[in-house]
Amino acid sequence: MDILNKVKQYREEENRLKWEGTFTEYLELLKERPEIAQTAHSRVYNMIKAAGIEKKDGRNDYRFFNEEIFGLEEAIERLVEEYFHPAAKRLDVRKRILLLMGPVSGGKSTIVTMLKRGLERYSRTDEGAVYAIKGCPMHEDPLHLIPQHLREDFYKEYGIRIEGSLSPLNTMRLEKEYGGKIEDVLIERIFFNEDRRVGIGTFSPSDPKSQDIADLTGSIDFSTIAEYGSESDPRAYRFDGELNKANRGMMEFQEMLKCDEKFLWHLLSLTQEGNFKAGRFALISADELIVAHTNEAEYRSFISNKKNEALHSRIIVMPIPYNLKVSQEERIYEKMIKESDMSHVHIAPHALRVAAIFSILTRLKPSKKQGIDPVKKMRLYDGESVEGFNQVDVDELKAEFPDEGMSGIDPRYVINRISSSIIRKETPSINALDVLRSIKDGLDQHPSISEEDKEKYLNYIAIARREFDEIAKKEVQKAFVYSYEESAKTLLENYLDNVEAFCNQNKLKDPLTGEEMNPDEKLMRSIEEQIGISENAKKAFREEILIRISAFARKGKRFDYYSHDRLREAIQKKLFADLKDVVKITTSSQTPDESQLKKINEVIARLIDDYGYNSTSANELLRYVGSLLNR
Ligand SMILES: Nc1ncnc2c1ncn2[C@@H]1O[C@H](COP(=O)(O)OP(=O)(O)OP(=O)(O)O)[C@@H](O)[C@H]1O
Ligand SMILES: [Mg+2]
């Protein structure tokens, strides 16, 4: 019943929000809340702003898009600040069609859909409320009722500029229904809703021969001509094209560049002059955001055609590249899987990460920077620290190819491959290797991958595989230790005590006997060797650690396992080195003895309870790591 209650609530809410009054009453409302007369572009911008703007690394992060769009912060920032914001201020960009350009499955439609659904919700809030002339199929702006010659006075009184003139239909209605008295015209609050065709429209071109301009601008209703006597009587016209219905809100223009020119010319006048021509009427004013999307190849061929020059200058192109961060790519896959019918399938930890590594590698361009390889670049882009590089380097890397992210593997391909590997495997449990294998098998069928790219992509699969090997080994070794974090911390403390004694030329006290001892050189070296610190360099390394510790202490912070990346790596490797033999023997034994069996079961239990595996994927992981360690 919960859902029915919600339906009821929604209906009640709708009734509560309803408003109807005369134009006189509307003007009173307007005095209190001038924002209700804002333009379509300004409403879109305010909606985005209302969701919140976070400052992140000196950039603006627009939270409106955060729930469904991942890793495109820069593109979104540009979209908002170079289009929506200036358009809201009635600057010239408002008169251009917004064209999102990017590679397939890069999130363009998702962005447009978010704007549409967002506007529907926003029009139900106080700040986003929209009012229109009652009974008008185009939900015409009530302020159009103010005659042209009084608009300057209106501006002085209300501070609002009115654009556009009263439509032929409402001009007639004003005369016939209200006897010319604008103060009596009924105004109502409207709620954007694409299903009910209020304020949100989608135009999708079909066969150019059969498609009629009526889909865009409405058409004559021949059945009523007899009644009204003439084709140019606006009452005999149905204002039900997408441009009509989207008035005050937005219209999505699908496949715009594939569309027949005659459709585009209507858009031109609409965007440029704020009006379009329908039937045998004077121009009809409309105020709406028009968004289209395209891919790069289509766009290039469009602008290379001289005939399109006029159109081109009336379009604002905003690039929407692929996401280039591994961790965000993982989130994209998670989202897509949740939305698909695969959500019941167990996907082993790291399977999506490995796929994401592959995808990102295909999208990155090779840098000419010293010491940078694709994997390092990938890590830096994802905000990981890579020794010898800092934020300045990341900025330089990004500046190297401003159009990076316009090519490579798309998220949908990966999701398709994951689902095909699910079909192939009988158990509903997929691991990283299944995913990589399926990605590899699919490359042959991918329509747009050249032989040269395929070669490269196979190499990226190999890299992703190597990354997975490391992750898998670490994971299993961790699971072998009863409490991995504890062990690591104990070893670290032990090391630090010894380093301190070494640098200060002190002795250590044996915790049990209280006896004085020399620092344990063997222990310290066994850790340092893990990250290649030579005998000659050990003193400098230990002193550096000590300096770090006191720097931390000065700031009142504790130096711990996470304070020093290289030391953490050394500790980790040392723990693993100690474990390696046990893991190797236990995981690869064909006939494990009783104690080995017990250990295996313990490890599997830990993988399931603490690391998110199921019993199939945990067993697969153990077997795989066993074979890796025996190579
Ligand atoms: N950066 C991203 N963040 C979140 N989801 C994304 C991102 N990029 C792609 N997706 C997901 O990938 C799928 C395809 O995206 P969408 O349909 O929006 O792409 P598109 O650019 O319109 O593609 P096309 O050119 O094929 O029309 C969607 O499920 C979308 O949610
Ligand atoms: Mg799309």
- 297 Cα–ligand 2 center, Å: 15
pLDDT per residue as tens digits for the range 220-254? 777 777 777 777 778 878 888 888 899 999 999 98
Instruction: Give yes or no for residue 101 CB within 6 A of ligand 1.
Output: no
More confident: 140 or 213: 140
Q: What SS3 state is found at 36?
A: helix
- 85 Cα–ligand 1 center, Å: 24
Q: How confident is the model at residue 286 (pLDDT cuts 50, 70, 90)?
A: confident
Is residue 483 predicted with pLDDT exceeding 80?
Answer: no
Q: Which ligand 1 atom minimizes the distance to the CA of 100?
A: 21
- Amino acid 118: pLDDT: 97
Q: Which ligand 1 atom minimizes the distance to the CA of 336?
A: 29
The answer to whether the CB of 259 falls within 8 A of the CB of 298 is: no
The residue contributing the CA closest to ligand 1 atom 19 is: 105
Q: What is the CA radius of gyration of the chain?
A: 33
The residue contributing the CA closest to ligand 1 atom 12 is: 105
Closest ligand by atom to 105 CA: 1
Q: Can you tell me the mean pLDDT for 43-50?
A: 97
- Amino acid 279: pLDDT: 67
- 164 Cα–ligand 2 center, Å: 32
Minimal CA–CA distance to 318: which of 100, 115, 108?
Answer: 100
User: Which residues lie below 8 Å from residue 610, measured CB to CB, with a gap of 6+?
Assistant: 479
pLDDT per residue as tens digits for the range 611-630? 999 999 999 999 898 888 87
Q: Which ligand 1 atom minimizes the distance to the CA of 331?
A: 4
pLDDT per residue as tens digits for the range 249-269? 999 998 888 877 777 877 777
Half-sphere exposure of 596 (CA within 13 A, CB side): 14
Q: Can you tell me the mean pLDDT for 156-163?
A: 92
Q: What SS3 state is found at 408?
A: coil
Record the pTM.
Answer: 0.87
Instruction: Give yes or no for residue 300 CB within 6 A of ligand 1.
Output: no
- Mutational test site, ligand 1, from 67, 99, 101, 110, max ligand atoms within 8 Å of CB: 110
Q: Which ligand 1 atom minimizes the distance to the CA of 111?
A: 18
pLDDT per residue as tens digits for the range 413-435? 999 999 888 888 777 889 999 99
Q: What is the largest CA-CA distance in the chain?
A: 114
Closest ligand by atom to 294 CA: 1
- Mutational test site, ligand 1, from 105, 318, 324, max ligand atoms within 8 Å of CB: 105
pLDDT per residue as tens digits for the range 105-133? 999 999 999 999 999 999 999 999 999 99
